[in-house]
Chain A
Amino acid sequence: MKTIQEVFRDWEAVIGLEVHTELTTLKTKMFCDCPIDFGAPPNTHTCPVCLGLPGALPVPNRAAIESIVLAGLATNCDIEKRSMFYRKTYMYPDMPKNFQTTQGPIAFCMRGGLDLTVSGQGSDERIDVEHAEDGSYTTHIGITRIHMEEDAGKMIHVGGTDGRIAGASYSLVDYNRAGTPLIELVTEPDLRTPEEARRFMQKLRQIFLAIGISDCSMEEGSMRCDGNISLRRRGSTGFGTKTELKNMNSFKALHDGLAYEICRQAEVLEQGGVIYQETRHFEPATKRTIVMRTKETAEDYRLFPEPDLAPYDLSDEFIERVRAKLPELPDAKSARYQDEFGLAAADAETLAGDPAWARFFEDAAAGSGHAVRIANLMINELAGQLKGGDIATCKVAPASLAELADLVDGDAISGKQAKEVLAEMLETGDGPAAIVERRGMKQVSDAGELEAIVEQLIADNPDKVEAYRNGKKGLTGFFVGQAMKATKGQGNPKVISQIVTRYLEG
């Protein structure tokens, strides 16, 4: 198979995403007041409604409707005041009613979109748009709709390989998850590269985290993404046959799955073959997609308006009350971090994208004057040392980090030392000043003291001084190193370097 860059010379990929997000920050299910509780033993959170008992009736969760409106506002959608729920019928064991209560042609949120800026790695996948000097480009991704629906139960298949359905001798069904509020966001087929899809998902996740409607975990399945992808010859405008991709459970899997499928489709088409409208399953181990089922004809779900639920006619007041809950979204926050705190775009984007990190940063940077250093320490040191832990509950307080930044910017300690101090702060919860004191780490910056040491070294190594003056400029390093040794590593390398250079230059 060709590489994706080779494929993209002749072919254009047309990609759309369907993103399902569970509203995990709510307390109850969509149509009943059973608690949402992941990890509970099977069938401990059920009732007549979410078990689909005969005679049960649904009652929608107001907070869920508010959440979907919030999601729509945050993604620039029109909020449809009038919409209904519909029944979508198919018999499957994880469906307690054997129909899903979802929406029809008109969803709560329609016609939205997000601007996507792709920079750095992967931005070169897209060849048909103009790139800025730094290689980045911006593209607009339309959002067709966001609609409200409910999640199905969970199944475990026993007896097959890897817990798959194939070859299983029986399955077990747990309805705890059945009825969990779910929003489905469908994009226009505006994405063109796997990298764009990955970035779009990241951006969407950041937005949903910022508005607090879900914990958005792809690994745990509270945010799931399916892709639809077809190819067409570069320059043509029609649509090829698309395949549906499922089981991409991480951003990387999304990228790799789409990349594989693009190359696979290109190979088939270039050999004169035909793309079938199929559902394909991404295999993370082999990074390929394999056929799950063939959709010769589209499934007829017998969609009709849900008679048990009164229609919606949302008031302006309802919508404005929700709009008032819109927080500063990641894009706006990132712009503000660059403006107000002088952060570089990449750092600003990283911090603004995660509510807990943004919160920590702002608390640390407030009135500190060392915002750039703080950001630097957070992204380059703290992130690595935390190893995925929760920044909000770690032992480092924002004020302590600000203090650390102050010490580094003031040359009291070196960057290398800061790393060690931070590690100890994380472990003990002590402040940086105390740790520096305790470990006697204070950087020696006193010019007089350092000058005396350098002077001695110059005197002790005349041949090297001679060699330097004859062109071996790299010998600065020797002297700096020796001076550092003499100060047991606590010498301020910048100051030492200046003194050394001065002496060497004569």
Chain B
Amino acid sequence: MPLTEHDVRDIAAYTRIGLTSDELTQMTKDLNDIIETLAPITRYDLEGVPPTFHPIGDLSNVMREDEPRPGFDTETALSNTGSTQDGSFKIPPILSGGDA
């Protein structure tokens, strides 16, 4: 079942990408074109076939010891944004306008 523009608008909202309505129309077409090419997946009898989530064979139980190591100083941690205050990252209001 192809995606509608409504579906795609929901996806854009979920992935937090602001699309113009022209972009939305084009994106809907593009996504549906691509999804059509995925059809071969649905053609196989996959009964009893286990999924492979990690192509690493038997590798398992990879862990590290509980030993601390110094990381970034605050300046470095904040170095890639200009929006900071008193050592913290600063962001605009989480809720839009007015009191909830």
Contact = CB atoms under 8 A, between A and B. Distances in A.
Given a CB threshold of 8 Å, the question of whether A touches B is answered with yes
Given A172-B86, A173-B91, A35 B68 contact: yes
B60 A312 contact: yes
B67 A310 contact: no
A312 B99 contact: no
| Majority secondary structure of chain A interface residues (helix, strand, loop or mixed) | loop
B38 interface: no
Nearest to B63: A62
A169 B94 CA distance: 9
A279 to B, nearest CB: 13
Interface in A302-351: 305, 307, 309-315, 318
B69 to A, nearest CB: 4
A311 B68 contact: no
Contact of B94 (A34, A65, A171): A171
Contacts, number: 128
B66 interface: yes
A43 B60 contact: no
Contacts of A45: 71
A61 B66 contact: yes
| Majority secondary structure of chain B interface residues (helix, strand, loop or mixed) | loop
Interface residues of B, number: 36
Contacts of B61: 310, 312-315, 318
B68 A43 contact: no
B91 A171 contact: yes
Interface in B37-87: 53-54, 56, 59-69, 71-74, 77-78, 85-87
B18 interface: no
Nearest to A306: B53
B29 to A, nearest CB: 23
Interface of B: 14, 16, 53-54, 56, 59-69, 71-74, 77-78, 85-95, 98-100
Interface of A: 26-28, 32-35, 41-47, 50-51, 59-65, 84, 91, 93, 156-157, 159-160, 165-175, 300, 305, 307, 309-315, 318
Sorted nearest first, the 4 A-B pairs with minimum C-beta distance are A47-B71, A172-B88, A63-B66, A62-B63
